[in-house]
Each structure stands twice: as structure tokens, then as C-alpha cells.
């Protein structure tokens, strides 16, 4: 099978391209770092003829620094995806695997003792200033506890990156309906592992903590360190892409899957695991916060297990120990 991988020189895209090649597929890579822009029709018209599948990872990543990032997110992630899908239609490339993200959900799911399942809105700055980090029930104001979030939860993007990833999903669904193509969106949760970017404002929290430890500094953990995330190893993510590339998919629609370990951990636990793995200073919990951050997001991995046959294999302890030294 001939596969075009966009973002093939990036952190996740590079692992995905390697997994596809190792499985015997012909891979044509496209990456801005190598002078190939997904927004360039000439590049796409050179790569797409004869392609059976596109695995789309080209994107501006991270949550953004400020409003000045908005044009880049819209250009690379939204416009770039539109250009790619139009080119796929021209060349009758009928299958797409899209790298999406858990950020499309916004805040995760919660359970209120009185009202059951609820979805809180954005946290209030006065609450954050007082160290009240857990969002209350939006109906009664009582404390609400985190619950797993499944793919049918309504999206609620909270920043430019999240909005652009949701737009990619909508565009992919448009393409599938209008062409009869098959599209799968893999909503990655917190991906980590070898070759993760570091030392940029857009790096993931695991990479930022590791960079601090490499410099001999204690990682600085925001809020109280108890915010829950699902950390999934990049090799598991690459394997999920390989499975999605080969799995049957319904024509004319977009199917979404959480790609996650299914075992949540706190950001504080992750920081401590990295510190222990490098024999470095233990993390410092700062109480600081970012207004755009969400508190808890815990994935349900069940749809990916039943629909794709995918379950993560690399455990948190082993994966973080490797990442700490990679």
C-alpha cells in the first residue's frame, strides 16, 4: 500500500512513518522541515498519484502562546487540511487517517452527586486565584469528580489549537460525505516518548519537565499537581495508526477514536516519575495556572478497543523511565 504521511519528520509523524515502513508499506513523506508544505498544490500533485491512503499529521501544535498565534493555526491546520483534502479528491485518494486530539473536548466529563454526568464550563479566574482548581457542577455548584469521556461527548474547544483540530475533523467529514471516502480521526491524549520536541513554548508538558531536569532544575508543576491526564506512549500511537490504516472503515463518514492508555495519572505523578528516572530534583508544585488549561480529562479507550482492536501496551512506569533518559 502506498501511504502519504504529512508531518513525516515530526515527533508523532516520524514514528508513524517508521511503523508503516517497517510493516512493508511504501511511504511518501511530506514535512515543512524538509521544504514540503501541505498547503502547496504542486507538492501534493507530485505525491498523491497512486496513493491508497493519507495519514495527516502536518500541523502547528501546542496550545498557543497568545492571540498572535491565531493566523498560523488557521493557516497550517485549517487551510492546510482543506488544501490536502481537495488534492485527495482530485487524485481519487479514498482513505484518510487524521491526527486529531483530546483537546477538542475542552474540559473532561464530571459526575455530580446530585445531577450525575455534567460538563463544566471554563473555570473562573477568581476560583483559580483562590486555589480552587476543580470545576464545580454547572447546575448546583457542588464539587464534581472526574469521569471518563467518550467520543460522543460534545466538543468544546478552549484554545486556538483545539479549535483548529476540531475544524480539521469537520473538514474531513465534509470530504468523506462528498467523495465517499473513508476517514478516521484518532484523538490522541497526552503523547510522550523518544524524539519528543523540547525547549519550545509549544512543547508538551512532559518534554518541558524533562528539559528542566536535564538542566538540573526541579520541574515546576502548575496548580496543585493533581490534574488528571492520560499519558500514552508514542510507539502505541504509531501502532494505532498502523491498525487504522489497515482496518475497514465505513465510506462516506468520519469515525473518531480516543487513543489513550486507559489508565489516568496526575501531572504531579508524571513529574515525579521523570525526576526519579533521571535522579534529579523532585518537582515543585507552584499553584500557578494558565486560564486556557483544563483540569481533568480522562479518556475512555473502549471504542478504539472494539472498533479497531487497539489497546495501549506500554505502561506508565516503564514508558516514563525510558522517556526520562531518552
Q: How far apart are the first and last CA of the chain?
A: 32
The model's pLDDT over 54-71, given as tens digits with 9 standing for 90+, comes to 999 999 987 665 788 899
User: Does 199 or 273 have the greater pLDDT score?
Assistant: 273
**pLDDT per residue as tens digits for the range 203-228:** 578 999 999 999 999 999 999 999 99
Angle between helices 205-214 and 316-325 (to 10 degrees): 50
Is the separation of the CB atoms in 78 and 171 below 8 Å?
yes
- For the cut 90, the answer to whether the pLDDT of residue 197 exceeds it is no
**Cβ burial, residue 244 (10 Å; 0-12/13-18/19+):** buried
Looking at the chain, the whole-number percentage of residues with pLDDT higher than 70 is: 98
- Computed over every residue of the chain, the mean pLDDT equals 94
Complete domains list, the chain, with CATH = 2-108+149-325 (3.40.50.720)
pLDDT digits (tens, 9 = 90+) for 36-95: 999 999 999 999 999 999 999 999 987 665 788 899 999 999 999 999 999 999 999 999
Residue 259 · residue 240 · CB < 8 Å:
yes
Question: What pTM did the predictor assign?
Answer: 0.95
Q: Which three cell numbers stand for residue 244?
A: 487504522
Q: Look at residues 239, 61, 233 and name the one whose alpha carbon lies nearest to residue 164.
A: 61
Give yes or no for a contact between 264 and 201, defined as CB atoms under 8 angstroms apart. Answer: no
Contacts of 106 (CB under 8 A, 6+ apart): 119, 122, 155, 156, 157, 158, 162, 294
Amino acid at each position: 500500500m502506498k501511504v502519504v504521511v504529512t508531518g513525516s519528520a515530526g515527533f508523532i509523524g516520524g514514528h508513524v512513518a517508521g511503523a508503516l515502513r517497517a510493516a512493508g508499506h511504501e511511504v511518501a513523506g511530506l514535512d515543512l522541515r524538509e521544504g514540503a508544505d501541505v498547503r502547496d498544490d504542486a507538492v501534493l500533485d507530485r505525491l498523491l498519484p497512486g496513493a491508497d491512503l493519507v495519514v495527516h499529521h502536518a500541523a502547528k501544535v501546542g496550545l498557543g502562546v497568545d492571540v498572535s498565534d491565531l493566523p498560523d493555526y488557521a493557516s497550517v491546520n485549517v487551510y492546510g487540511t482543506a488544501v490536502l483534502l481537495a488534492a485527495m479528491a482530485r487524485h481519487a485518494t479514498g482513505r484518510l487517517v487524521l491526527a486529531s486530539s483530546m483537546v477538542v473536548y475542552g474540559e473532561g466529563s464530571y459526575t455530580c452527586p446530585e445531577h450525575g454526568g455534567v460538563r463544566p464550563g471554563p473555570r473562573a479566574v477568581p476560583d483559580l486565584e483562590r486555589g480552587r482548581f476543580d470545576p464545580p457542577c454547572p447546575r448546583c455548584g457542588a464539587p464534581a469528580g472526574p469521569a471518563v469521556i467518550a467520543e460522543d461527548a460534545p466538543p468544546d474547544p478552549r484554545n486556538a489549537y483545539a479549535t483548529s483540530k476540531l475544524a480539521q475533523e469537520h473538514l474531513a467529514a465534509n470530504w468523506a460525505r462528498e467523495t465517499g471516502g473513508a476517514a478516521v480521526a484518532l484523538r490522541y491524549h497526552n503523547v510522550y516518548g523518544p524524539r519528543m520536541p523540547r525547549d519550545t513554548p509549544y512543547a508538551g508538558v512532559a518534554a518541558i519537565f524533562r528539559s528542566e531536569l536535564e538542566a538540573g532544575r526541579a520541574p515546576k508543576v502548575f496548580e496543585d499537581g493533581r490534574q488528571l491526564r492520560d499519558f500514552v506512549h508514542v510507539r502505541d500511537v504509531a501502532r494505532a495508526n498502523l491498525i487504522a490504516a489497515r482496518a475497514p472503515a465505513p465510506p462516506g463518514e468520519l469515525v473518531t477514536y480516543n487513543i489513550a492508555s486507559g489508565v489516568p495519572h496526575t501531572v504531579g505523578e508524571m513529574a515525579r516519575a521523570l525526576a526519579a528516572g533521571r535522579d534529579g530534583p523532585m518537582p515543585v508544585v507552584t499553584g500557578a495556572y494558565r486560564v486556557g488549561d483544563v483540569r481533568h480529562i480522562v479518556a475512555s479507550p473502549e471504542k478504539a478497543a472494539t472498533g479497531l482492536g487497539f489497546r495501549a501496551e506500554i505502561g506508565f512506569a516503564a514508558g516514563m523511565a525510558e522517556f526520562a533518559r531518552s
